[in-house]
Amino acid sequence: MAPPPPPPQWVLDLNSTPPAQSRFSLPDPPGYTPQTALQSKSSKSKSQPQTVSRKPPTPEETATLKLKKAWEIALAPAKQLPMNAIGMYMTGNSLQIFSIMMVFMLFKGPVQAVLGINQTFARFETEGKKEEMLWVKLAFVGCNMLALALGIWKVNGMGLLPTTRSDWLAWETERVPLERAYFRPS
Amino acid sequence: MLLPIYAAVVLLLRPALAVFADEAWTVDYHHALLGLPKQSTTFFHRPDPNSRASLIYTLSEQGVIGAVNPRDGAVVWRHLLNSTNDASQPSFLRAGDAQDAVVSGLGGQVTAFSAADGRVDWQHIAPDALVDLEILELEDGRGTPGAKDTLCMSAGQHPSVQRLDGATGAVKWEHKIESGDMPYQVSASTTEVFAILLHKTVLGYVKINVVTLDPVTGRKTDEYTLSSENELATAATIVAVGANSASPIIAWTDSAYKTLRINVIGKKAIVDFPINTLGGRPPQRVALHAPYLTTSLAHFLVHYQSLDADWAEVYHVDVKNGRIEKAYDLPKIEGRSSFSTSTNGANVYFTRVTKDHVFTVASTSHGILGRWNVDSTTSSLTDGTARPVHAASEVSVKGESVSAVRSAVLLSSGEWLLLRDGSPQWTRPEILAGTVSAAFALPSEVSDLVNELQEEAHSNPVSAYVHRITRHIGDIQKLPLLLAALPQRFVHGFLGTGSDGSDTFGFHKIIVSATSDGHLVAVNAGRPSDVLWSSAAVILSSGQVWNARVESAAPGIVRVLDDISPMPTFFNASTGAAIGEDEVTSDAALPTSVEVDFTLKDGQLYGTTASQSGHNELWHFGLQKGETILSLTPRPVNDPVASIGKVLGDRKVLYKYLNPNLALLATTYAGQSRLSIYVLNTVSGAILYSNSHQNIDLAAPIAATLSENWFAYSYTAESTSTAPKGHQLVVGELFESLTSNDRGLLNAATNVSSLASSTQPLTLTQTYHIPESISKMSVTQTRQGITSRQLLAVLADSNAIVGIPRGVIDPRRPVNREPTKDEQMEGLFRYTPVLDFDPKWYLNHRREILGVKDVITSPAILESTSLVYAYGLDVFGTRLNPSFNFDMLGKDFNKFQMLATVAALAVATFVVAPLVQRKQINQRWQFA
């Protein structure tokens, strides 16, 4: 029996992986680690981290950081004020669905924010910073009140606040005449 | 906060004021009336001799000449000859045989019209008031084909007979009557003209004097006096003087109606016929019916009318030898009947119209040629409420028998009815042409409910509850009827095919009109084509005009005030039944401490208070020397005002001066062309505003109106060195203060006494030049006064009514500058001195409304709508929405589309629901 014929070239090509060397003559860029090298490296030094990890912050530091973050959130509505004001100014004072919706959002946002104030700042609550957090919350409420004030200013501009005499005209009554004259044709 | 919404609605919709094309002929109604036709001036005539089609011509008591198509009752043409509306003035209308011309005479004016289209051929002004007018049917041998000449006789200082050329109206000759006798009538035979004069004897009796004139020259050829010694006390018992050779007779009776005396004109003999009463009462009226065409046989009918029956005798005249003989009798028939004459060639036919039948006989024999039953159950003729007053007939003859007869019958109810072979073809409510006053009233269904609700409101809770339960049980009985009518209602509402009879919006108010001949007539504003009821309210002597005033007294009840009875009479508006005063609960019961009456008496204006010691004069308007009161316009008693102030553009308030006791007084000065206008407080008599205009044309109409806190008046100013003659409209508005947010001196006081305090309003006025004079003004009224108003102005010269929007004539329009932004927001625009009537303001659009004297308005149940009714000669009514139809769906609203959309959505929902459900279930179970 004749020995089997040697496998064709394509089978050999398929079975043999190409050489790991770079096909280009250029060197690898600095800092590039080929995957094979990485794999072998990581498998080697699995238990031994190369760099020293950051040391965990102290609770004091965390509290300060949280307070900082809380202040940031508390003052966020104030930062939106100029943009809102411009938006309100641009929509005009006419009663249209668009401006009415804008105004509605303007009222809805601060009220919702104030109602959900404890949830908003629950993440930042720490034992030692109770008093500071109170200030933060007050600032938050204050900023939302500013946004609300903007809404009221807008509503007033639209003429929806009963501030003028004509708004109360329907409650004013005609003077009752004490005498009545009738025409009697003769 | 409803006010800003209303204000917004009113502001947004302000410019949309016009009569819309789809509403133009449906919401408005118009009766183009002629007025009550007179017997002597109503006839059938063929405008074109070659055609058999004829028209009915009439010159009515209201002085309107017109032609009516006998087929449908439509007016072919008409003219208002005089606007003085003096029914007692004699008027004449003649048509020449086979001619396209009718000649009318009224007052001193003779006018010839083309019969076919009503164009004026010529006009002639007689020297004085006319007494008679005839067409001269001359046979001069030449057989002139042109227009026939007219004879007219006038009275006055210099009575005369004139012959007018038929083509031009020029006077051919004039014969002056210088004997001092009273001209009575003119008659023409084929060869001679007779002037019949009345000569007063020393004893006060009347003698008939006949003057024969030559028709060519007008010279007197003969004169004789009929020996009517001591028989004729007055001219009233002269029955008739024939006009021409077809009836060449003079007929008269003694005052007791015992004998009928007839003379053939031109002959001196008098034939006496004793009047046969046929065993009944003596006649009260004797009338003579003769053909008016010269070609006819000289046969005539004498109609005797007693209190309860009518009968007639037919006579034949032998013209040649002047003999008269009685041919036959027409039997006595109980109840009223009317006779009319018609001709066909030389044959003469008499048509008798009774309550139940129409008979036609020939003049030659008493055999009835045609007899028809009046076959209508709806006609007021057959149900006995009306009787025939007079008729004009036309017969069509086939061979020996009469094939058809058309009779235009005037009924005592004032309807003009055409009977064609006894069946009614059309009726025209001509009585409405004589309306002197009208008022809106609630129909009984509504007023009953109002009364019941009032009763419930005023009784204790338990009995009110019981009353309500019983009322609802009563209502349940109407349920089957309602359910049965429901499909039809749906169909009507769906297709928009008119009303189903229900009146949810209060458009079907009843309009009660008082007419000058003593009738009360009611029409429904929702179904204006037919008269609801008509009744004779008073009995007037002939020539007397009923000066009545109709006003709404309580829901469903009208009050009629007149100069005959000192106390007002009350009528149920739905049925016309008279009711006693004690049954009327007045709706104007206001809790006021002092009640002042003001009245115009003997040209003076007084204010009085009623007390135990009678009427005390409270104030008296001091007229200056030579000053006379022209008109007084009080503010309407029921004049609701929604807002006591005007909201300005900056949302401040300008307070109106609202006082229910306001009146606008217009006076003139004798000999001076001067007009003074005063706004009065009618409690204290104080003048709140006054103005005087010099150089006014007082012959032109001066109209004025007052409503809410504003007034308007118009006049015609004579030309001056700087301005031409022109019509002007002045609008003034009264305010408590001219500074905003200020209620004046009284400030927040809740009540005010005009006697204790004297606060003067501040008045703004503006004047406009208007293109034509306004003869009458009125203001629209709505239920709560929220809707803006319109000033309704009657334009007599263009036969129109315009509704001028209140915003256009606001006295606060900025003068000599553009309006500021705030003013623009208010809707004010720059003042322009000339106010042109926008064609969109004309309420009558393409209709021509003739002779309107007054316009009344009434609120409907819908706030947006005001009902308008104009009367005088024509009757016109419409619904106005001065601020647009904001509370009712318009006709353009597609109900079908809406229902189809709803149905499609419903179907879609049913189809999609299972799909969605399946998808939701799958979502829970399938993980992907």
Give percent of chain B above pLDDT 70. 92
What average pLDDT score do residues A24-51 get? 62
Chain B residues touching residue A181 (CB < 8 angstroms): 595-598, 607, 634, 660-661, 682-683
Please check the confidence at residue B16 and state whether its pLDDT lies above 50. no
- pLDDT of A51 reads 59
Please check the confidence at residue B209 and state whether its pLDDT lies above 90. no
What average pLDDT score do residues B244-273 get? 81
Q: Do A179 and B661 touch (CB under 8 A)?
A: yes
- pLDDT of B382 reads 64
Q: Which of A169, A172, A176 sits opposite B751 (nearest CB)?
A: A176
3-state secondary structure B497-540: CCCCCCCCCCCCCEEEEEECCCEEEEEECCCCCCEEEEEECCCC
What average pLDDT score do residues B391-397 get? 89
What average pLDDT score do residues B188-200 get? 84
Query: pLDDT band for position B788 (50/70/90)?
Result: very high
Question: Which of B51-60, B564-573, B861-870 comes out lowest in average pLDDT?
Answer: B564-573
Mutation test of the interface with chain A: which of B10, B567, B587, B594, choosing the one with the most A Cβ atoms within 10 A? B594
Chain A residues touching residue B749 (CB < 8 angstroms): 175
Please check the confidence at residue B718 and state whether its pLDDT lies above 60. yes
Chain A residues touching residue B607 (CB < 8 angstroms): 181
The closest of B259, B234, B530, B512 to B378, measured between CA atoms, is B530
Q: Do B593 and A178 touch (CB under 8 A)?
A: yes
Please check the confidence at residue A64 and state whether its pLDDT lies above 50. yes
Q: Rounded to whole angstroms, how far apart are CA atoms B780 and B777? A: 10
- pLDDT of B728 reads 94
- Rounded to 10°, the helix B444-458/B461-476 angle is 150
Q: Rounded to whole angstroms, how far apart are CA atoms B883 and B885? A: 7
Mutation test of the interface with chain A: which of B547, B550, B601, B651, choosing the one with the most A Cβ atoms within 10 A? B651
Q: Do A178 and B1 touch (CB under 8 A)?
A: no
Q: Rounded to whole angstroms, how far apart are CA atoms B68 and B55? A: 6
Those residues with Cβ within 8 angstroms of residue B871's Cβ, 6 or more apart along the chain or in another chain:
B432, B435, B438, B513, B852, B853, B854, B856
Locate the chain B residue with the closest alpha carbon to A163.
B651
DSSP B841-881: GBTTTT----S--EEEEEE-SSTT-EEEEEESSSEEEEEE-
In angstroms, the separation between the Cα of residue A115 and the nearest Cα of chain B is 30
Query: Strands B29-31 and B37-45, how do they pair?
Result: unpaired
Locate the chain A residue with the closest alpha carbon to B755.
A179
Encode pLDDT of B85-110 as tens digits.
565 678 889 888 778 889 998 888 89
Chain A residues touching residue B652 (CB < 8 angstroms): 164-166
Q: Do B599 and A184 touch (CB under 8 A)?
A: yes
User: Does the CB of A46 have a partner CB in chain B at under 8 Å?
Assistant: no
Q: Rounded to whole angstroms, how far apart are CA atoms A169 and B100? A: 69
Structure tokens at A1: 């029996």
H or E element at residue B1? none
3-state secondary structure B96-144: CCCCCEEEEEECCEEEEEECCCCCEEEEEECCCCEEEEEECCCCCCCCC
Those residues with Cβ within 8 angstroms of residue B152's Cβ, 6 or more apart along the chain or in another chain:
B105, B110, B124, B126, B130, B132, B133, B134, B161, B162, B164, B186
What is the DSSP-derived secondary structure letter of residue B146?
Answer: S
Q: Which of A170, A178, A182 sits opposite B3 (nearest CB)?
A: A170
User: Does the CB of A171 have a partner CB in chain B at under 8 Å?
Assistant: no
- Tell whether pTM > 0.90: no
Q: Do A178 and B752 touch (CB under 8 A)?
A: yes
- pLDDT of B130 reads 87
Q: Rounded to whole angstroms, how far apart are CA atoms B660 and A35? A: 102
User: What are the structural domain ranges in chain A?
Assistant: 60-157
Those residues with Cβ within 8 angstroms of residue B368's Cβ, 6 or more apart along the chain or in another chain:
B359, B360, B361
Which residue matches tokens 């498998």? Answer: A43
Please check the confidence at residue B42 and state whether its pLDDT lies above 50. yes
- Most confident range (mean pLDDT) of A44-48, B56-60, B168-172, B741-745 is B56-60
Phi-psi region of A102 (alpha: psi -120 to 50; beta: other; left: phi over 0): alpha
B141-435: CATH topology: Methylamine Dehydrogenase; Chain H (2.130.10)
Give percent of chain B above pLDDT 90. 32
Q: Which of B647, B652, B752 sits opposite A177 (nearest CB)?
A: B752
What is the DSSP-derived secondary structure letter of residue A28?
Answer: P
User: Does the CB of A55 have a partner CB in chain B at under 8 Å?
Assistant: no
Chain B residues touching residue A179 (CB < 8 angstroms): 592-596, 661, 683, 753-755
User: At B471, phi and psi to the nearest 5?
Assistant: -65, -40
- pLDDT of B702 reads 94
- pLDDT of B916 reads 94
What average pLDDT score do residues B887-894 get? 80
Mutation test of the interface with chain B: which of A175, A176, A178, A184, choosing the one with the most B Cβ atoms within 10 A? A175
Encode pLDDT of B360-386 as tens digits.
998 888 888 888 888 766 566 666 677
Q: Compare B559 and B26 and report the one with higher pLDDT.
A: B559
The closest of B320, B172, B175 to B245, measured between CA atoms, is B320
For residues B207 and B181, the answer to whether their CB atoms sit within 8 Å is no
Encode pLDDT of B521-555 as tens digits.
999 887 777 788 888 888 887 778 888 889 888 88
Q: Rounded to whole angstroms, how far apart are CA atoms A17 and A60? A: 57
Query: pLDDT band for position A19 (50/70/90)?
Result: low
For residues B858 and B509, the answer to whether their CB atoms sit within 8 Å is yes
- In one-letter notation, the amino acid at residue B169 is G
User: What are the structural domain ranges in chain B?
Assistant: 141-435, 444-495, 894-927
DSSP B807-839: GGG-TTSPSSSPPPHHHHHHT-----SB----G
Chain B residues touching residue A169 (CB < 8 angstroms): 3, 643-645, 647, 653
Structure tokens at B368: 């009835």
What average pLDDT score do residues B32-39 get? 90
- pLDDT of B1 reads 43
In angstroms, the separation between the Cα of residue A108 and the nearest Cα of chain B is 23
- Most confident range (mean pLDDT) of A51-65, B9-23, B238-252, B458-472 is B458-472
Please check the confidence at residue B803 and state whether its pLDDT lies above 90. yes
Structure tokens at B754: 């005009």
The closest of B97, B137, B99, B133 to B116, measured between CA atoms, is B99
Q: What is the ipTM of this complex?
A: 0.77
In angstroms, the separation between the Cα of residue A154 and the nearest Cα of chain B is 17
3-state secondary structure B573-588: CCCCCEECHHHCCCCC
Please check the confidence at residue A20 and state whether its pLDDT lies above 70. no
User: At B377, phi and psi to the nearest 5?
Assistant: -90, -20
Please check the confidence at residue B235 and state whether its pLDDT lies above 80. no
Beta bridge partners, B665, equal B632, B678
CA angle, B200 then B234 then B519, to 5°: 145
Query: pLDDT band for position B696 (50/70/90)?
Result: very high
Q: Which of B590, B632, B644 sits opposite A172 (nearest CB)?
A: B644
Q: Rounded to whole angstroms, how far apart are CA atoms B384 and B356? A: 10
Please check the confidence at residue B515 and state whether its pLDDT lies above 50. yes
Q: What is the dihedral of CA B42, B44, B49, B50, to 10 degrees?
A: 160
Chain B residues touching residue A157 (CB < 8 angstroms): none
Structure tokens at A175: 């003077």
Encode pLDDT of B275-333 as tens digits.
887 777 788 888 888 887 777 888 889 898 888 888 899 988 887 777 888 888 888 88
- In one-letter notation, the amino acid at residue B327 is A
- pLDDT of B10 reads 44
Query: pLDDT band for position B15 (50/70/90)?
Result: very low
Query: pLDDT band for position B139 (50/70/90)?
Result: low
